[in-house]
Structure 1
Amino acid sequence: MKQFVFRAFFLCSFLVGNFVQAADLDKGKTALIRGDYAAALTELTPLAEQGNATAQYYLGVMYKEGQGVAVDDAVSHQWLTKSAESGEAQAQMMLGMMYHFGSGVEENMDTARKWYQLAADQGLEEAQTVLVIIAE
């Protein structure tokens, strides 16, 4: 009986935790779209620290663009890399662009192609297009 209660509690906490995380992610995205960067940071930072790849992507963009924070290419690269390594196609695309153009990192076309390819493999059309263009 104890194992059943434990498993039921674990399952419920997992489901509720994911629901809350999704709600906070939505709040963070909405705040970002509104331009309420302080609220976006408040919502997204804990999620990113917990490993949410989408929140990590948004923080990477915020640090790259200076949205509510000082522009910090190193912090942007850190968040985008975590997100991209977790499979977030948009982060992979952005890292490809950073390496392609040497934006905040040393230009490296081999690394750019790697990130573009990972994003393209997930069906991201922009990455597929870039790969065709740079192949010519």
Structure 2
Amino acid sequence: AASRMDKESMYKLGTLLELGEHVPLDYSHARTWYILAARGTGDEPHVRAQYKLGYFYEFGLGGESNMDKARKLYKLASEKFNADAQYKAAYFLEHGIGCERNMAEARKYYTLAANQNH
């Protein structure tokens, strides 16, 4: 299914590779599948893949660390109501990671995440 560009299959394959479930652990290939899923397939991108890709960029999993890309991906996923991404976006804003510190925006994203029991 992943070869047919189904974003959910791409995300699931990325997860299997990230966790080393039923396949050897491979952050580099997991990152590739998350990139493809996060782009989407002509429709909406896979929001959880956007979050996971942000995490990979933040911590340099499967490639170079890139805080600016991580921040942008967290913001995109947070706009689609992903509570984990909302929390990460808030943290980046609070601490000025990949952006200027902005406590008002940080509070907004922390509140959005908290409203989803994060």
> Fold-level match, TM-score > 0.5?
yes
- The answer on 1:45 being equivalent to 2:35 is yes
3-state SS in 1 of match to 2:35? helix
- Aligned mates of 2:62, 2:9 — CA distance in 1: 21
Higher relative contact order (CA 8 A, sep 6+): 2
- Aligned mates of 1:21, 1:62 — CA distance in 2: 18
RMSD over aligned Cα, in angstroms? Answer: 1.7
Q: Is the 8 A contact 2:7 2:36 kept in 1?
A: no
Q: Is the 8 A contact 2:28 2:61 kept in 1?
A: no
The normalised TM-score by structure 1 is: 0.71
Q: Is the 8 A contact 2:57 2:70 kept in 1?
A: yes
Deviation beyond 2 Å, 4+ runs, structure 1: 20-24
Give the letter aligned to residue 25 of structure 1. Answer: Y
- Other-structure match for 2:15: 29
List per-residue Cα deviations over 1:90-121 (Å, max 9, x = no partner): 00000111111222221111111111111111
Distance apart, 1:22 and its partner CA: 2.9
- Other-structure match for 1:5: none
3-state SS in 1 of match to 2:54? helix
- Other-structure match for 2:58: 64
Q: Looking at CA atoms only, which structure, 1 or 2, has the larger radius of gyration?
A: 1
List per-residue Cα deviations over 1:66-108 (Å, max 9, x = no partner): 1112111111112111111111110000011111122222111
3-state SS in 2 of match to 1:104? coil
Percent of counterpart pairs with the same letter?
Answer: 29
The normalised TM-score by structure 2 is: 0.80
Give the letter aligned to residue 48 of structure 1. Answer: A
Give the gaps of 5 or more residues in structure 2.
none
- Aligned mates of 2:72, 2:89 — CA distance in 1: 10
Q: How many residues align?
A: 106
- Other-structure match for 2:92: 98
More helix by share: 1
- The answer on 1:116 being equivalent to 2:104 is no
